[in-house]
């Protein structure tokens, strides 16, 4: 009986193997199908969101290469009938590009460098030291982060006007040195969070070697804060470059205008008008189809920032990831 029972089990087992194998294959197929569907949904979502952000850029580039006739033609949507570089030549000349490009570089690059110094010192102080009034200063820092700068524009203008600093770059540069400026409180918080994540042992070792707080900060903490420095630098230079509120507030002389200011004053003269329509003052906003020149000027205005991101995107992404890593 025992041998007969074993024989029956042996005979039944081959019939079970194909069923288990087919069930395993079905489960594997279902699992792969779910993974593929999840990846497809992931890419569709990313592409949809990317298109939302890329659409204005693609529209601007497409229109900047069009002629006035292509813009007025309802059949021409994205691809022009013939590429035209006249819009870029006109925008480059009308914007006095190199002059106002230099002004924008002074404000954005100078402001970014000053914010690197001022915000790093403030962030290190908040992260590593406890002093009388710490809580009050932290509340004030958060308050400056929440309050929009437009709400204090009148006292700011009166202050710099009394100091005879209007029509200069000082009202946009000096606040950066003291950890304020454009988005200054945010950069202080970035530095503070990064310095909090660094181990205390290195500072203790520097203190044993006789280094004071200043030397410890300059020689040890700053070299370790390269990821935070890069993040702050890129954000600061982009935000200062794109800012037009404070330049319009403090700069009233044409030679000191930034590219954004000059772009808002870009005009189309009768010689460059493709429509034959005469507009009062030849203002480009009053002409129906000449905004292709404005699109070309807009592209030239943001081109330096695009090139900056193109060459630093890998380091920027790595720095953003590293600034979120907590230490001991």
Confidence (pLDDT) at 317 = 75
Number of Cβ within 10 Å of residue 196's Cβ equals 14
What's the count of helices (H) and strands (E) in the chain, helices before strands? Answer: 15, 0
* Six-digit token string for 31: 């699992």
Contacts of 183 (CB under 8 A, 6+ apart): 235, 236, 239
CATH code of the domain occupying 95-265: 1.10.3720.10
Q: How far apart are alpha carbons 188 and 175 in whole angstroms? A: 13
**Which residue stretches of the chain have pLDDT < 70?**
1-25, 181-182, 267-289, 320-328
Confidence (pLDDT) at 324 = 53
* Contact by Cβ (8 Å): 104, 260: yes
Render pLDDT for 178-195 as a digit per residue (tens, 0 to 9): 877 667 888 998 899 889
User: pTM of this prediction?
Assistant: 0.76
* Six-digit token string for 117: 């110094």
Q: How far apart are alpha carbons 100 and 106 in whole angstroms? A: 10
Confidence (pLDDT) at 6 = 45
Render pLDDT for 247-287 as a digit per residue (tens, 0 to 9): 988 988 878 899 988 888 776 544 444 444 444 444 444 44
Burial 239-276 (b: 16+ CB within 10 A, else e): bbbebeebbebbbeeeebbbbbbbbeebbbeeebbbee
Confidence (pLDDT) at 100 = 92
């Amino acid at each position: 009986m025992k041998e007969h029972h074993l024989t029956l089990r042996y005979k039944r087992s081959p019939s079970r193997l194909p069923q288990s194998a087919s069930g395993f294959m079905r489960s594997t197929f279902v699992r792969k199908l779910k993974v593929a569907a999840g990846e497809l949904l992931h890419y569709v979502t990313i592409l949809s969101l990317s298109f939302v952000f890329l659409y204005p850029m693609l529209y601007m580039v497409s229109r900047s290469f069009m002629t006035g006739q292509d813009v007025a033609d309802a059949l021409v949507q994205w691809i022009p009938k013939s590429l035209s570089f006249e819009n870029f030549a006109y925008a480059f000349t009308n914007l006095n590009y190199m002059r106002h490009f230099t002004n924008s570089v002074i404000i954005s690059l100078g402001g970014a460098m000053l914010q690197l110094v001022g915000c790093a010192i403030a962030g290190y102080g908040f992260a590593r030291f406890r002093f009388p009034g710490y809580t009050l200063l932290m509340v004030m820092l958060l308050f400056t982060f929440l309050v929009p700068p437009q709400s204090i524009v009148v006292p700011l203008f009166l202050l710099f006007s009394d100091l005879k600093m209007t029509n200069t770059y000082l009202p946009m540069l000096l606040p950066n040195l003291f950890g304020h400026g454009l988005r200054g409180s945010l950069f202080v918080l970035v530095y503070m969070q990064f310095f909090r994540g660094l181990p205390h042992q290195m500072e203790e070792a520097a203190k044993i070697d006789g280094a004071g707080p200043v030397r410890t900060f300059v020689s040890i903490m700053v070299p370790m804060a390269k990821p935070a420095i890069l993040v702050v630098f890129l954000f600061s230079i982009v935000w200062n470059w794109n800012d037009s509120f404070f330049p319009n507030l403090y700069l009233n002389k044409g030679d000191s205008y930034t590219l954004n200011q000059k772009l808002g004053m870009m005009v189309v003269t009768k010689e460059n008008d493709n429509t034959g329509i005469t507009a009062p003052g030849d203002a480009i906003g009053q002409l129906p189809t000449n905004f292709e020149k404005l699109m070309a000027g807009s592209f030239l205005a943001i081109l330096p920032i695009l090139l900056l991101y193109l060459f630093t995107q890998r380091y920027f992404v790595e720095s953003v990831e590293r600034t979120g890593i907590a230490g001991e």
